[in-house]
A and B are shown apart, each in its own frame.
Chain A
Amino acid sequence: MGILEVKNVGKRFGGLQALSDVNLSVRENSVHAIIGPNGAGKSTLLNCLVGKLIPDTGSVMFDGQSVLGRAPYEINQMGISRVFQTPEIFGDLTVLENMMIPCFAKRDGAFELNAISAIPAQRDIMEQAEHMLEDMNMADKRHMHAAAMSRGDKRRLEIGMCLSQQPRLLLLDEPTAGMARADTNNTIDLLKQISDERDITIAIIEHDMHVVFSLADRITVLAQGTPLVEDDPQNIKGNPKVREAYLGESA
């Protein structure tokens, strides 16, 4: 049994069957990559995992509990964090404030009326946030408005925000899209490091094969809303079905 078990999930948008009969099992503490051509339904699948969409059929179990019917914040509090395809950060806040919010959510839960104490008095939160910024190499940007950063930096901030929650399952939707090569390599190193050091499971959607093959323990190929194959990386490269549906297309 994996930490995440997706069974027979289907999702329809009007006339479009975006997902049909998706089965996916993600092993605990592994890095599982989901690849597939544009429009294959990868993001839609993630949406079904975090409560953004409710699938029409099937079940999604996280650590033995169903996530279906729960609000996104509840699913997050269960231990699933998600990095979006287009960065979702608090653009009006500073980078440090962005980093503090998930720390508060981790410590205080979904709601806490802490309206009188000053923020700097929250030593533990400040320390955690500063620490994470250093890990992400962003300490010098701490007082910058998050909206003013480059797309790559926003993405890295978002990854940092998700990591500071110490999630058990981290979902990444094309985390290196829009990043410079150097930043991409940094991100790979960072993800490698955290997956080695921490008890964390990572599911990553990625178009960049360099990223996929440097990180993934297991790969699922999705095409037209259905998983084509699920296998180890070395077998995926040579699989003719995959070449046809995906690699062949981009070559």
Chain B
Amino acid sequence: MFKLEKTDQTLLIVVGILTLFAPFILNPFPEGSAMAQFNAGYPDLMQRFVIFGIFAIGFNILFGLTGYLSFGHAAFLGVGSYAAVWMFKLLSMNVIPAIILSVVVAGLFSLLIGFISLRRSGIYFSILTLAFAQMMFALAYSVLTPITGGETGLQLALDDPRIFGASQTPEGNIPVPGLFGLEMRDSFDLVMGSWVFTFNIGYYFCAMVMIASFYLAIRIFRSPFGLMLRAVKSNQQRMNYTGLNTRPYTLAAFVISGMYAGLAGGLMASMDPLAGAERMQWTASGEVVLMTILGGAGTLIGPVLGAGFIKYFENIFSKINSTILHEWFAFLPDGLEDFIVAILYPFIGKGWHLTLGILFMMVVIFLPGGLVEGGQRIRSWLQKRKSEKNTPNGSTEPAE
């Protein structure tokens, strides 16, 4: 099925099921319970999971396969967002043309930037991409204000000259992005006992796009082109003396990953039709690097896991405040309670970066293959335990 190998097919199906049932899976705790704040099943966050998943999947095609570490990919996400918002302003509120333009514009920008940056490799390549991204951020933030909205960002207005569609709704509001009549922000709540599950059109649209992107990434990984990209990472010298020109291979990978970033940016603007320069800042570029490494660079599923992990932390851990901590530890004697809260406090709320940083360091040091390697280790450990149980005398079969 899908022209994939068995394991890849299974992976795709699992990812598909998880994304489709995410509103259930991410909301395991009943509404109003103490644990409810760990629920992540609200539309805004779920959209971010899959959008950043797409961003990281694309980034991994460049970094995971060729080893070229771009520090400027947020720039492509940013131009994707601007392109989409302009499409909403000028053409129509349908998300399809907006997203197409996002991908095309991001592709053009990455072609130009990639063409120049790929003249160097290693750290110099990274610095070049960083420099380009920062230039684009600076341009978007100030010089190009008429196009980008500068500091305030690019927003829809009541007098946008939309060619297909009205400038205002009959009620005098700004229309919202949609897909042939389906509004992206529309949701449907399913109440089951004390649980509430929200199904959001925007989320499901993004989820479909992510599954398609993931499928495409699998095909690229398993293609002759994917093999060439891994060969670039392994030994460029051998490539050259085998009659292969590495430059167009790396450039193609760069452009493809830039287009993925543009797609993510376009989706972001489709969920919430505004675009700001901060999306292009170097911290945003760094974030996708973290996602990819944390999840497992060069693996198929790693970047998606990494993106989910970081976005969960950002949104859930950052909301825990000292009042909540006090509630949790209220059962302890007062002095001890204050002491524990004081110790934990730096790691929560605004301090979630600290927790994330520590986790990231642990992963890089102990699990260089990222979360995927962690999963593999747990699985082989479980298998070992199982086989030990089956052979009571303790003699285990050697692996392989």
Chain A interface (Cβ < 8 Å from any Cβ of B): 50, 71-73, 76-77, 81-82, 84, 88-93, 97, 100-102, 104-106, 108-119, 122, 125, 161, 165
State whether B227 touches A113 (Cβ < 8 A): no
Contact among A72, A114, A115, A165 with B240 in the assembled complex (CB-CB below 8 Å):
A72
State whether A115 touches B241 (Cβ < 8 A): no
Other than the known A82-B241, A92-B233, A119-B224, what 15 A-B pairs have Cβ atoms closer than 8 Å? A72-B241, A73-B245, A76-B241, A81-B242, A88-B238, A89-B238, A93-B231, A101-B239, A101-B242, A102-B242, A104-B227, A106-B243, A113-B225, A116-B220, A122-B224
B380 within 8 A of partner (CB): no
Query: What sequence of 0s and 1s flags, for each residue 230-268 of chain B, a beta carbon within 8 Å of any chain A beta carbon?
Result: 110111011111111110110010001000000000000
Chain B interface (Cβ < 8 Å from any Cβ of A): 3-5, 219-220, 222-228, 230-231, 233-235, 237-246, 248-249, 252, 256
Q: Which residues of B contact A102 (CB under 8 A)?
A: 242-243
Chain B proximity of A156: nearest CB distance (Å): 15
Measured CA separation A223–B71 after assembly (Å): 49
Measured CA separation A113–B256 after assembly (Å): 11
Contact among A81, A104, A108, A110 with B241 in the assembled complex (CB-CB below 8 Å):
A81
Closest 8 CB pairs of A and B: A76-B243, A115-B225, A110-B245, A90-B234, A92-B234, A72-B240, A105-B243, A111-B248
State whether A91 touches B228 (Cβ < 8 A): no
Measured CA separation A21–B361 after assembly (Å): 57
State whether A118 touches B3 (Cβ < 8 A): yes
Measured CA separation A4–B4 after assembly (Å): 47
State whether A89 touches B235 (Cβ < 8 A): yes
Nearest B residue to A83 via CB reads B241
Contact among A93, A114, A125, A161 with B223 in the assembled complex (CB-CB below 8 Å):
A114
Q: Which residues of B contact A114 (CB under 8 A)?
A: 223-225
Q: Which residues of A contact B249 (CB under 8 A)?
A: 111
**12 A-B contacts, Cβ less than 8 Å apart?**
A73-B242, A73-B245, A81-B242, A82-B241, A88-B241, A90-B238, A102-B242, A104-B227, A109-B243, A110-B243, A114-B224, A118-B4
Chain B proximity of A206: nearest CB distance (Å): 19
Contact among A91, A100, A111, A161 with B234 in the assembled complex (CB-CB below 8 Å):
A91
State whether A105 touches B244 (Cβ < 8 A): yes
Secondary structure of the A contact surface, majority rule: loop
Query: With contacts A92-B234, A118-B3, A118-B223 known, is A161 near B244, CB below 8 A?
Result: no
State whether B243 touches A115 (Cβ < 8 A): no
Most A C-beta atoms less than 10 A away, residue of B223, B242, B244: B242
Nearest A residue to B248 via CB reads A111
Most A C-beta atoms less than 10 A away, residue of B226, B234, B241: B241
Chain B proximity of A100: nearest CB distance (Å): 7
Measured CA separation A64–B240 after assembly (Å): 22
Q: Which residues of B contact A117 (CB under 8 A)?
A: 223-224
Most B C-beta atoms less than 10 A away, residue of A91, A100, A111, A165: A111
State whether A71 touches B240 (Cβ < 8 A): yes
State whether B224 touches A112 (Cβ < 8 A): yes
Q: Which residues of B contact A50 (CB under 8 A)?
A: 241
Q: Which residues of A contact B256 (CB under 8 A)?
A: 115
Measured CA separation A118–B219 after assembly (Å): 7
Contact among B222, B234, B235, B252 with A113 in the assembled complex (CB-CB below 8 Å):
B252
Chain A proximity of B245: nearest CB distance (Å): 4
Q: Which residues of A contact B242 (CB under 8 A)?
A: 73, 76, 81, 101-102, 105, 161, 165
Contact among A82, A84, A100, A101 with B244 in the assembled complex (CB-CB below 8 Å):
A101
Measured CA separation A84–B237 after assembly (Å): 10
Query: With contacts A82-B241, A88-B241, A92-B233 known, is A118 near B222, CB below 8 A?
Result: yes
State whether A77 touches B223 (Cβ < 8 A): no
Nearest A residue to B8 via CB reads A118
Nearest B residue to A108 via CB reads B224
Chain A proximity of B316: nearest CB distance (Å): 37
State whether B243 touches A165 (Cβ < 8 A): yes
Q: Which residues of A contact B227 (CB under 8 A)?
A: 93, 97, 100-101, 104, 119
Measured CA separation A110–B249 after assembly (Å): 10
State whether B219 touches A116 (Cβ < 8 A): yes
Measured CA separation A162–B3 after assembly (Å): 32
Q: Which residues of A contact B5 (CB under 8 A)?
A: 118
State whether B230 touches A93 (Cβ < 8 A): yes
Measured CA separation A90–B238 after assembly (Å): 7
Measured CA separation A196–B144 after assembly (Å): 69
State whether A73 touches B244 (Cβ < 8 A): yes
State whether B223 touches A101 (Cβ < 8 A): no
Measured CA separation A118–B242 after assembly (Å): 22
State whether A93 touches B238 (Cβ < 8 A): no
Measured CA separation A106–B243 after assembly (Å): 8
